[in-house]
A = this chain, B = another copy of it.
């Protein structure tokens, strides 16, 4: 990889971009789009991921730490700020009195729906230059990469988890 870590790459005229470079550049492009959009709602990427997780789960702090690959003390701060803002609440776990579950409030649910809908629209726009069959090809290739990685790391991409309490 030569210059894929910055948006305006190598000072060489019309060089061929390999799969590695394009993927890295794309990841910066996509993250930039998401980050700017989230910021319009006063959300960071991490907060948005958090809300996305909470849409169909009521995980413990520990579950969140695992999903987001963050230290549990980082989750404490993340939830503190989200709770202060009224988009999530801590609820005591009934089964284990040490643990705490985190739930979206109605306001949080509404917020995450709006943000993720915007994300969808933003990335769809980004892909507008590809034809539907091209998008399908892209999607299929990327899916294979995602599945291979998940398998590699022993993660079931489609698992239903976080059994209640």
Contacts and interface: CB of A to CB of B under 8 A. Distances in A.
Interface of A: 1-15, 17-20, 22-32, 34, 45, 48-49, 52-53, 55-57, 67-69, 116-117, 119-120, 123-124, 126-130, 134-139, 141-146, 148-149, 155, 157-161
Nearest to A56: B11
A88 B85 CA distance: 40
Contacts of A142: 19, 22-23, 25-26, 138
A149 to B, nearest CB: 6
Contacts of A20: 119-120, 123-124, 127
B116 A5 contact: yes
B26 A23 contact: yes
